């Protein structure tokens, strides 16, 4: 077992039969919120990335979009909601106050994956 505090980052790779439109969508969706493109990945937080990979072993659309959820924490979910609406996203779960200072929402990316946008209590 690794020593406590040994993990220093987190990443997810989204496999796609056609990653270029997926990359374009994620950049348009997340760069205005503070993400930045570096090389071949989107940096979404301190030591947190979303990468993209061309795959021939996946379907064009996610068969079970709830199996893997990409979660993005934001400081101002209402500003993020306004931005996503300007892009014409498809909401699976519109922004909802779930109590205790938590706000959740879920939308679809072009490959049918779920992107959840959250704001928690005391979000800095």
What's residue 26's pLDDT? Answer: 97
- For residue range 25-35, list pLDDT tens digits in order: 999 999 999 99
- For residue range 43-67, list pLDDT tens digits in order: 999 899 999 999 999 999 999 999 9
Q: What gap in Å lies between CA 53 and CA 41, rounded to an integer?
A: 10
What's residue 56's pLDDT? Answer: 95
Structure tokens at 122: 């005391």
**In this structure, are residues 70 and 12 in contact, taking their beta carbons and an 8 Å threshold?**
yes
In 9-66, beta strands by DSSP E: 10-16, 36-38, 41-45, 48-54
Q: What gap in Å lies between CA 26 and CA 113, rounded to an integer?
A: 11
Confidence of residue 117 (pLDDT cuts 50, 70, 90): very high
- For residue range 82-115, list pLDDT tens digits in order: 999 999 999 999 999 999 999 999 999 999 999 9
Number of other CB atoms surrounding residue 115 within 10 Å:
23
CATH of domain 10-119: 3.10.180.10
Q: What's the pTM value of the predicted model, to 2 decimals?
A: 0.90
Confidence of residue 7 (pLDDT cuts 50, 70, 90): confident
- Listed in sequence order, the residues at least 6 apart from 80 whose beta carbon sits closer than 8 Å to its beta carbon are 33, 74, 117
């Amino acid at each position: 077992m690794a020593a406590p505090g040994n993990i220093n980052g987190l990443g997810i790779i989204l496999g796609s039969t056609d990653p270029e439109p997926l990359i374009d969508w994620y950049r348009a969706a997340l760069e205005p919120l503070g993400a930045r493109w570096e090389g071949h990945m989107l940096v979404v937080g301190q030591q947190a990335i979303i990468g993209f990979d061309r795959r021939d072993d996946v379907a064009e659309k996610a068969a079970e979009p709830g199996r893997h959820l990409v979660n993005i924490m934001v400081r101002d979910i209402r500003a993020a909601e306004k931005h996503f609406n300007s892009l014409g996203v498809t909401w699976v779960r519109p922004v909802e106050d779930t109590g205790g200072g938590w706000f959740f929402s879920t939308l679809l990316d072009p490959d049918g994956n779920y992107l959840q946008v959250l704001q928690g209590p005391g979000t800095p």
